[in-house]
Amino acid sequence: MTTSIWHDSANLDLETLNGLHKNTVCEVMGIQITEVGPNFVRGTMPADGRTFQPMGLVHGGSNVVLAETLGSIAANLVVDTSKYYCVGQEVNANHVRGVRKGVLTGTATLAYQGRSSQVWEIKIEDDRGKINCISRLTMAVVKHG
């Protein structure tokens, strides 16, 4: 059994996490958090007109929005948010397969956790479980005040 990495399990409610997306790019793009496991955050994004580029494929920037959303949520769940908050410093993405339809599922897992930074790996798959994008997100851990 995997030990939970989350600071406060009370903050793992999917309705609360998805409620944070109201009036944001995530709401516009249809991004939903679907699962929080002991060491991962998972979410979905539709492959449709909201997320496409002109050639009818999921836009690379859409993949990055999904990746950064999942990693950012996860990063903030790891820290004591009464003392710290996490913000993105750097994100990269390798787009390895085009997607024209369906739903993409991204899973963020912690690759490194330090006092002032975290690194998250986010794998995004299509409906068939084929990798569409592999992303790495570096988050700064910032003290309030």
Indicate which residues carry an active-site annotation.
68
Q: Are 106 and 42 in contact (CB under 8 A)?
A: yes
Classified as helix, coil or strand, 33 is strand
DSSP string, 72-94: HHHHHHHS-TTTEEEEEEEEEEE
Beta bridge partners of residue 122, listed in sequence order:
108, 135
Identify whether the C-beta of residue 27 lies closer than 8 Å to the C-beta of residue 49.
Answer: no
Nearest to 57 by CA among 105, 126, 116: 126
Q: Look up residue 101 and give its DSSP letter.
A: S
